[in-house]
Amino acid sequence: MTFDAEWSQLRAAAADKQSTRMRLNHADSGGAASTSSQGDLVVNQDDLGRVGHEAYTLHGRLKKAGDITRGAKDDGSTSKAATVLSSHHFTMGDALTTTAMVWNDQLKTLLQACAHISNHLDYTKKSHTNEDAKIAASMARRDSSAMPVSEISKYCK
């Protein structure tokens, strides 16, 4: 097989793969694989609450158990051990100090991430609840009853 023929086959194969690749920038047209109508993202308030609570719980546990610079009696046993080793000219003392510093930096980063997740999900939950209440009030019927989805969908066409 010549180079040109092989190159043509490879380009054709790549084009075939390109046309069947998944697209993430639009909703599914409603085929059999679609699990929700119109490709809507559905998140329940309970889901947000559980994830936020787990992040809050993890933050508390990490803050309590993750600090290796304190010992069982909060005497700074890791730092004390590093100092004693260094004073006796063991290079392990400097390595232990570096390890403790890196650990604490990573721990602080993880604690901040957990706090952000928890706070953001709490905010999101409250914000969506408020938005849902505003939307429900603006989409109510004249008699103040909730407008059904089938009636709302008439306005979206």
pTM score of the predicted model = 0.49
Quote the DSSP letter at residue 73: T
Q: Is 130 exposed, middle or buried (0-12, 13-18, 19+ CB in 10 A)?
A: exposed
Nearest-angstrom CA–CA distance, 7 and 10 = 5
Nearest-angstrom CA–CA distance, 15 and 121 = 42
Of the chain, the percentage scoring pLDDT greater than 70 comes to 73
Nearest-angstrom CA–CA distance, 77 and 91 = 18
pLDDT, tens digit, for every residue of 66-121? 877 654 444 567 888 888 999 999 999 999 989 888 888 899 999 999 888 888 87
